[in-house]
Amino acid sequence: MDIRIDAGRLRMDIEALAGFGRDPKGGISRPSFSRADLEARAWLKDRIAGAGLACREDGAGNIFGRLDGPGKTVMAGSHIDTVLNGGMFDGAVGVLAALECLRRIKEEKLPLAKALETASFTDEEGNLVGDFLGSRAFLGLLDGEALRRERTQFGPLLAEVLEGTGFTIEGILEAHIGRPDLEAYLELHIEQGSYLDDEGVPVGVVEAISGKRYLLGSFAGAASHAGTTPLELRRDAFLGLADMALRSTRHVATHHYGAMVTIGKVAVHPGSFSIVPGRVEFSLDYRSSSLEVLRDLDRELAEIAEDVAATRGLSFAAKLMDTTEPVLVPERLLGVLEGECGRLGVPFLRLGSGAGHDAQILASACDAGMIFIPSPDGASHSPEEAIRWDDLEKGANVLLGALVKLAT
């Protein structure tokens, strides 16, 4: 049956959700379990109930809206949390487009061969203790020890952040109990890059989501006086990092085109203009849509670091902080999504996702696919993040068509 979303209603929902967590410093700051997030949750549950869906919130704060049906569950969703000073579309469009789709299916009283659920997963952005807290909890993939031990980026422990919210670490660890058996998961999201915008195409069908490694590394040398230590006698930890940064980037660019490597966080010690750095700590983030490339990089980047250390009289150490594996979207889902683009006359391109998404976690339990809409100028995780409303309408109709196809 040929049904379409109500684009005006979806836009009103997105604009209403953007009212929670506006930051005086710009954009939206709505990390999970903040006051703004708790208010946004109440609003979302109200909208789900208002659409006549069965609303459920699990122990991790994941919020679902269910249209019952026989057999397994076809799920669509994303997240409503944001980075600090983020945009109003990242995550929100996926949750609210899914809600709009189920609302339309319910209004049209389509006969279902499967159950349908919308999902809003907690802390996709990893403001607390690593990315994808909610979807990992939903699949029972969390390490209770780590949740209890690690500090959130805001300083306190997770348990302290949860105080007074009604959520607990025990509840998060038990969130996966009794979850529905999944048939497929679809997620609409903004691209967070400029490929679709540069190409002038309104919809992207994601064929692969990059896997990621996030390490904290350090080089240790010897702090010494900047005026009296000859260059050739120095064990300058910062020069080691500079060498590592340039060599890693050159290596990835020449041997693994399309993969990414980033050093985004750097601390130099002791950090005085007149003292040769004795120690540096840094983040190393690398990503690829190919598991083979990612495994090559695990070995090759460590070799580069060890070689830099050996050449420069330094020692190198690293700790793996987070890892996600690359996901290939199954041909079956690509076929459904591209079939709907064709049926609706929506131009599309296949592309990879360099950013991580809940879909990547869901892929360990069922077929998972993603629809991207353009990010004008590629702006992401910033107040400048934007969409075009007619791109969203096209993307949401592709999602609706695919859900109807999968569930009826």
Beta pairing class for 203-209 and 348-353:
parallel
Which range of residues in 40-48, 103-111, 237-245, 293-301 is near a copy of itself by CB under 8 A? 237-245
Which one of 14, 97, 162, 355 is in contact with a copy of itself (CB under 8 A)? 355
Beta pairing class for 279-288 and 211-220:
antiparallel
Residue 40 sits in the site that holds a copy of itself (CB under 8 A): no
- Provide, rounded to whole angstroms, the least separation between the CB of residue 29 and a copy of itself: 14
Contacting a copy of itself within 78-137 (CB under 8 A): none
Q: Name the E strands within 145-231.
A: 182-190, 203-209, 211-220, 224-225
Residue among 128, 113, 114, 115 at smallest CA distance from 79: 128
Report the residue number, 338 or 384, with the smaller CB distance to a copy of itself: 384
Place of tokens 């005086």: 24
- Provide, rounded to whole angstroms, the least separation between the CB of residue 69 and a copy of itself: 35
Which one of 24, 200, 230, 345 is in contact with a copy of itself (CB under 8 A)? 230
Which range of residues in 68-76, 93-101, 177-185, 380-388 is near a copy of itself by CB under 8 A? 380-388
Q: What angle do CA 103, 107, 113 make, to 5 degrees?
A: 80
Residue 219 sits in the site that holds a copy of itself (CB under 8 A): no
Instruction: For residue 276, give both structure tokens.
Output: 């040769």
Report the residue number, 55 or 263, with the smaller CB distance to a copy of itself: 263
**# chain residues binding a copy of itself, by CB under 8 A:** 56
Residue 353 sits in the site that holds a copy of itself (CB under 8 A): yes
The residue type at 200: G
Report the residue number, 215 or 402, with the smaller CB distance to a copy of itself: 215
Residue 385 sits in the site that holds a copy of itself (CB under 8 A): no
Residue 380 sits in the site that holds a copy of itself (CB under 8 A): yes
Residue among 46, 116, 39 at smallest CA distance from 80: 39
Report the residue number, 112 or 196, with the smaller CB distance to a copy of itself: 196
How far apart, in Å, are the Cα atoms of 177 and each of 138, 145, 181?
8, 19, 11
Residue 360 sits in the site that holds a copy of itself (CB under 8 A): no
Q: What angle do CA 141, 74, 363 make, to 5 degrees?
A: 35
Residue 224 sits in the site that holds a copy of itself (CB under 8 A): yes
Contacting a copy of itself within 260-299 (CB under 8 A): 260-266, 268, 271-277, 283-285, 287
- Provide, rounded to whole angstroms, the least separation between the CB of residue 327 and a copy of itself: 13
DSSP element (H, E) containing 332: helix 331-344
Report the residue number, 171 or 378, with the smaller CB distance to a copy of itself: 378
Which range of residues in 109-117, 172-180, 232-240, 342-350 is near a copy of itself by CB under 8 A? 232-240
- Provide, rounded to whole angstroms, the least separation between the CB of residue 136 and a copy of itself: 17
State the Rg of the chain over Cα.
Answer: 23
Contact 16, 43 (CB under 8 A): yes
Contact 77, 187 (CB under 8 A): yes
Contacting a copy of itself within 242-261 (CB under 8 A): 242-243, 245-246, 249, 252-253, 258, 260-261
Residue 227 sits in the site that holds a copy of itself (CB under 8 A): yes
DSSP string, 274-324: TEE--EEEEEEEEEES-HHHHHHHHHHHHHHHHHHHHHHT-EEEEEEEEEE
Instruction: State how far the Cα of 382 lies from the Cα of 370, in Å rounded to an integer.
Output: 22
Contact 10, 97 (CB under 8 A): yes
Contact 21, 155 (CB under 8 A): no
Report the residue number, 225 or 299, with the smaller CB distance to a copy of itself: 225
Residue 239 sits in the site that holds a copy of itself (CB under 8 A): yes
Contacting a copy of itself within 312-351 (CB under 8 A): 321
Cβ-based burial of 298 (10 A; exposed 0-12, middle 13-18, buried ≥19): middle
Residue 376 sits in the site that holds a copy of itself (CB under 8 A): no
Contact residues toward a copy of itself (CB under 8 A) are: 191-193, 210, 212, 214, 223-232, 236, 238-239, 241-243, 245-246, 249, 252-253, 258, 260-266, 268, 271-277, 283-285, 287, 321, 353-356, 378, 380-382
